[in-house]
Structure 1
Amino acid sequence: MAGAFLGAFGLLMLATFTSVLAGGPITTKRELVNAAYQAGVGECLNWEKADLSDAQKVDCAAAHKFEVTGTADITAAYPKEAPYPAAEAWEKIAQDNCAQASTTYMAGKLDPLGKYGVSTLNPDETRWSSGYRELRCGLQVTAPSGAALPSFGSAKTQDQSNVYDPGVCVALTEDNKVGDPIECAKPHAFEIVGVVEHPEGEFPAPEKQDTVMSEKCAAIAAEYTGGADLKAKNLLITWDTRAQESWAVGSRKANCKIGAVPQGEKLVAWEGSVRNPNGAPLTTANPPQTTSVKPQDEPTGAPLHSESGKPSESGKPSGSDKPDPSSSGAPPSSAENR
């Protein structure tokens, strides 16, 4: 089956997913939150609780969910009497006040289609009512739902390619979009079988990338599955390509993956894994790309993601999914992932 499923794997796009540090009584827990409010440029923060009440500074080499790229005071636009912004307003505030700060922090080399998204830590409603208007601008690795994923090392030094490690499965959402990482035993859109790193050089046209990915992904899939007959399982090999904007800032990696044969323009969910249980251990990144996302509860105040669950209009698909015609037996077609 030939054709393109454009944007089917736009996993971690530049978006204005907002976060909030929740308020409460003055306790030891509150002191940890204060430390996060005081975090400076280049410092990293981590938390486990959905309301961020346990947020604290950590070494950027360790797992973290936020890297501070700057601060912004929005008092001029939101004086003391201004009501607490709704989620949509927070997204615009983040874009207006933090997008440029993050680009500058990355020396102009922030992949707009890469795994890092622009985000903010906003004052909670208690601080807001007292007149506090300072934001922490930052970068997060975010899942399509907006959930913050673990990151390791400073974004300045990390590859920004939009990829997952082999063995990761990604969900299929109700609106037929690629979702968050999920257990492969559950219905999912794709199973990641490998990562291809393109060599340095001039940007290769998508057609050239297709030629390279088709050959390499076929070999990777054969090893991953132990030579399984994918056509008999109604599955096919597919892959991502890198956009020129991503190539320009150094993103060279792209995923090979396996998915069910689409029905027209729609992706189809399937269950289980095609990995050969007797195969060699998987080669994963160091540090590893995330393999799961904890259920995201809504925190008090601005949510960790937009109410619609969709990225902002500033985000665009990171690449395209190309089915391998030799693996599907389906007639040529093209479709855009929804």
Structure 2
Amino acid sequence: MMDEMSDEHANERDASGRDDDARLDTEATRDSGTPSADKPGHHLSATMTRRALVAIALGAVIAAIATAVFSGGFKSENDLSTHANTGGPMSTGAVSGSAFSTAHAGDCLTWTEDDASDLEKVDCSSEHLFEVASEVDLSNFPGTEFGPGSKFPGVLRFSQLRDEHCTPAVNEYLGAKFDPNGKFSVGLINPGVAGWAAGERTLRCGLQYSGTTGKPQSIYGTVAGQDQSKTWDAGTCIGINQNVPTDPVACTDPHAFEVISVVDLGAKFTGGFPDIPDQDKYLEETCTQASNEFLGSPDALRNKTLTLFWDNIDLTSWLAGSRKVTCSVGKELDTGGFASIVNSAKGDILINGAPPIPPPPVPEGRSLPVPLPGAGN
């Protein structure tokens, strides 16, 4: 079965010896500009919480890698051997018919089965799950690691191959216009256990849009032809798991926050990259206005005890062409992460299972707290 996962999940599973038949490997979840715990008045953010959980998992993985390296030792350069190059990868048809073995840079692929047994090429303007950026023929590698009769590599090894070969290939494919903080991630599709046993040795590097679990989301159009900003339409609710945001869900389901507006910073800042303070100054006004309109009144945000926040764009993303950010409403916890909200913020909501209790009126002359930039990342 094809196991779709993010890099964190892939590494954890490989360290425990499971899921060695994974065919799809994706890049790790990326950080973005969330307020950190050391900023005055800011609590531990969802991104910081996620980063801490990942660090715990990676600690076990690093220990496993160290054990493997030191117990296995290294071959000297003189011990390296090569296996015969038979003129390219063998198209066995053992995996996903001809679509996998004939996929080249610029092709778009899709599938519906968990094991991708129905993988097919489609026009990139239609719905698809993967855009091929390059091919990596492992039969050309020196040594016997990928030679005839070799063992199918584990998830960690495929992750290494993805980082070593697919990341630079994607950057070249997009002309150095890949946004590492955007909605697309670097992915790799391998031949699968059956294809490997039949002699397939070519990997497909490419781009996909993955959720927090690594499950590919639908893409329309080529990546080069669109803004790579990670945004959702207004009215989209982002799910929650252990106080950390996940993927879009129905607003009637528990969620961390709701998107109320998408803002194109390129329309405001036409003269080059705006620094973060300039972005925040503009977005504070713009997102506040969007909140008043979305919720129905200037008092609704406070009466529902919600927090208004937005994303920022860093220089790397700006140079890649990303220009859009989201304004959202949710409720941050003092201990970090988000409270669980049910129903759209436009109407009556429950926060951690109870209706919000409006705070006392603000004393005359005292201002409301400033919204938090980036609190939803």
Q: TM-score range by the shorter chain?
A: 0.7 to 0.9
What is the aligned partner in structure 2 of residue 153 from structure 1? Answer: 221
Shift in alpha-carbon separation, 1:84–1:31, aligned structure 2, 3 A: closer
Shift in alpha-carbon separation, 1:336–1:232, aligned structure 2, 3 A: closer
- When Rg is computed on C-alpha atoms for both structures, the one with the higher figure is 2
Task: Please state how far the C-alpha of 1:81 moved relative to its aligned partner.
Answer: 3.4
Q: Distance in 2 between matches of 1:7 and 1:33?
A: 42
Q: Distance in 1 between matches of 2:197 and 2:95?
A: 19
Q: Secondary structure at the match of 2:342?
A: coil
Query: Structure 2 residue aligned with 1:221, among 273, 279, 291?
Result: 291
Q: Which runs of 4+ in 1 moved over 6 A?
A: 330-338
Say whether residues 1:141 and 2:209 are aligned partners: yes
Q: Distance in 2 between matches of 1:201 and 1:270?
A: 39
Contact kept, 8 Å, 1:4 with 1:335, in 2: the verdict is: no
**Residues 148-182 of structure 1: CA deviation (Å, up to 9, x unaligned):** 111111111111111111111112222x4321111
Say whether residues 1:129 and 2:204 are aligned partners: no
The sequence identity of aligned pairs, in percent, is 31
**Residues 80-101 of structure 1: CA deviation (Å, up to 9, x unaligned):** 2332122222211211121111
Give the partner amino acid of 2:345: V
What is the aligned partner in structure 2 of residue 272 from structure 1? Answer: 343
Shift in alpha-carbon separation, 1:254–1:334, aligned structure 2, 3 A: closer
Q: Distance in 2 between matches of 1:219 and 1:208?
A: 17
Task: Please state how far the C-alpha of 1:115 moved relative to its aligned partner.
Answer: 1.0
Q: Distance in 1 between matches of 2:205 and 2:374?
A: 37
Say whether residues 1:177 and 2:247 are aligned partners: no
Larger relative contact order (Cα-Cα within 8 Å, sequence gap ≥ 6)? 1
Query: Structure 1 residue aligned with 2:131, among 67, 73, 93?
Result: 67
What is the aligned partner in structure 1 of residue 236 from structure 2? Answer: 168
**Residues 223-265 of structure 1: CA deviation (Å, up to 9, x unaligned):** 1122261222221211111111101111110000010142232
Q: Secondary structure at the match of 1:156?
A: helix
Say whether residues 1:246 and 2:317 are aligned partners: yes
Shift in alpha-carbon separation, 1:157–1:102, aligned structure 2, 3 A: same
Structure 1 residues 1-338: aligned runs within 5 Å: 3=42, 8=47, 33-75=97-139, 76=141, 77-174=145-242, 176-199=243-266, 200-227=270-297, 229-275=300-346
Structure 2 residues without counterparts, runs of 5 or longer? 1-39, 51-91, 349-366
What is the aligned partner in structure 1 of residue 53 from structure 2? Answer: none
Structure 1 residues without counterparts, runs of 5 or longer? 12-24, 278-327
Give the partner amino acid of 1:55: L
Task: Please state how far the C-alpha of 1:141 moved relative to its aligned partner.
Answer: 1.1
Q: Secondary structure at the match of 1:52?
A: coil
Shift in alpha-carbon separation, 1:198–1:334, aligned structure 2, 3 A: closer
Shift in alpha-carbon separation, 1:97–1:332, aligned structure 2, 3 A: closer
Q: Secondary structure at the match of 1:212?
A: helix
- Structure number with the higher helix fraction is 2
Contact kept, 8 Å, 2:309 with 2:374, in 1: the verdict is: no
Q: Distance in 1 between matches of 2:48 and 2:238?
A: 9
- Corresponding residue pairs, total: 271
Q: Distance in 1 between matches of 2:206 and 2:41?
A: 40
Contact kept, 8 Å, 2:95 with 2:192, in 1: the verdict is: no
Q: Secondary structure at the match of 1:139?
A: strand
What is the aligned partner in structure 2 of residue 14 from structure 1? Answer: none
Task: Please state how far the C-alpha of 1:67 moved relative to its aligned partner.
Answer: 0.5
Q: Distance in 2 between matches of 1:229 and 1:70?
A: 50
Contact kept, 8 Å, 2:95 with 2:194, in 1: the verdict is: no
Relative to the length of structure 1, the TM-score reads: 0.72
Q: Secondary structure at the match of 2:196?
A: helix
Shift in alpha-carbon separation, 1:2–1:208, aligned structure 2, 3 A: farther
Shift in alpha-carbon separation, 1:259–1:33, aligned structure 2, 3 A: farther
Give the partner amino acid of 1:235: L
Shift in alpha-carbon separation, 1:262–1:4, aligned structure 2, 3 A: closer
